[in-house]
Homo-oligomer: A and B are copies of this chain.
Amino acid sequence: MTHETIVLHGHIIDSLLLPKVLDHILQYGGSFEIAHIRIGKTREEPSDARIIVHAESPERLAEIIAAVQAHGASVEKEADCQWQEAPADGVFPDDFYVTTHLPTEVRVHGKWVPVKEIEMDLGIWLDRNDPAPHTVPMAEVRKGDQIAVGREGIRVTPLERPAHLDVFGFMGAQVSSERPHGHLITGIARRMQALRRSEARILLAGGPAIIHGGGREPLAWLIESGYIHVLFCGNALAAHDMEAHLYGTSLGLHLEGGSLAHHGHEHHLRTINRIRAIGSIEEAVRQGVITTGIMAACVRRGVKIVMAGTIRDDGPLPGVITDSVQAQAAMRATLPGVELALLVASTLHAVATGNLLPASVPTVCVDVNPAVPTKLADRGSLQAIGLVMDAASFLRELARHLGWKE
């Protein structure tokens, strides 16, 4: 038997940190003694606990410590963070520390320093020219870079429940199609109004079902009205949006009136071909070829668009970043300042965006398939809302709440 003492600090009850830590110790086969606990007597006052973790082997103990550290426990004996050089371009040292999406500090020369650009599943890099460490993706590390290794001298802060309780911030909200959507959409709309006033940025990541289902007009209106500042999408959303302008169809189905247009893929492909001939979406909008819809609204309002390519794409449109590593980097570059993320009808974009966002950014995930919002709601953010509904209905209700008239 071996043991180690861990300490918890902050809103350890409210954040569920304490029960999670005890649960993990048991699940990994350890046992615990609570050596000391002091619980804040009001909501504002933080709490403290010191817990002795027992395990049958040092390996098992290390596993437990790794697990609970990811949630915000830290090992009592404090030491500086250890660094090792990356052995090659694009390769971390063997024992590199893997980041979570929680606020993280590392101990450098006895002082705790926050890590910049927090994102999960990256390494921590200490640039010689910058006293503050920051995260670095595996593909971007360069041979010789100083990378954090091991677990000592690194700690994360569990999220606190937000002081202001609105529709965000409820604990363990079940994702279900049998829940009232009305007040959730009202709450999201209020948050968007507040963010627009405060000049914070709102991100929407969306799939082509937005267009097929009838969400094009309300989304274009939201963009024109200054409620969306960053758009993540793929080739299909952009192509069907412009197909709707040029042909009045989406996937070859007339959006109004209900009759079939001739072979659907032709419209879609001819749209892409035409924009390729013009050279860019921006130029197509400038020339007046595309004057309505989501892309036109984005160009007019200066919304930052990141279009990422996939193997499903026809064409693709000019502006689509076909390289996935470059597309990730472009998405990452737009995130600072984003304080709300709407992930609508795209599993790929929802999960990819969820991976890039720090846990502190509230997210709304909307999909008719409950598996997607369930997955996203489970990412450990206290501020995640999952809605099981179709994209168009969501966008129409949201836009109506914010003043859209059909």
Residues of A within 8 A of B (CB): 13-14, 16, 18-20, 22-24, 26-29, 31-35, 37, 39-43, 63-64, 66-67, 70, 87-88, 90-92, 94, 96, 98, 100, 120-121, 138-139, 161, 165-167, 170-172, 174-184, 186-187, 208-209, 212-214, 250-251, 253-263, 265-266, 269-270, 272-274, 276-277, 308-316, 322-328, 331, 347-349, 351-352, 355, 368-371, 374-375, 378, 388-390, 392-394, 396-397
CA distance A251 to B110 in the complex (A): 35
Instruction: Give the oligomeric copy count.
Output: 4
Contact across chains for B276 and A171 when beta carbons are under 8 A apart: no
User: Given contacts A37-B37, A255-B180, are A138 and B325 in contact (CB under 8 A)?
Assistant: no
- A52 to B5 Cα, complex, angstroms: 32
Contact B325 A66 (CB under 8 A): no
Shortest C-beta distance, A321 to chain B (Å), equals 9
- Which of B183, B256, B327 contacts A256, CB < 8 Å? B183
> Of B20, B70, B120, B370, which contacts A370 at CB under 8 A?
B370
CA distance A315 to B180 in the complex (A): 23
CA distance A179 to B176 in the complex (A): 20
A67 to B252, CA, bound (A): 11
Please indicate the chain B residues that have their CB under 8 angstroms from the CB of A397 in the complex.
393, 396
Residue of B nearest to A26 (CB): B165
CA distance A116 to B97 in the complex (A): 52
Q: Which residues of B contact A64 (CB under 8 A)?
A: 262
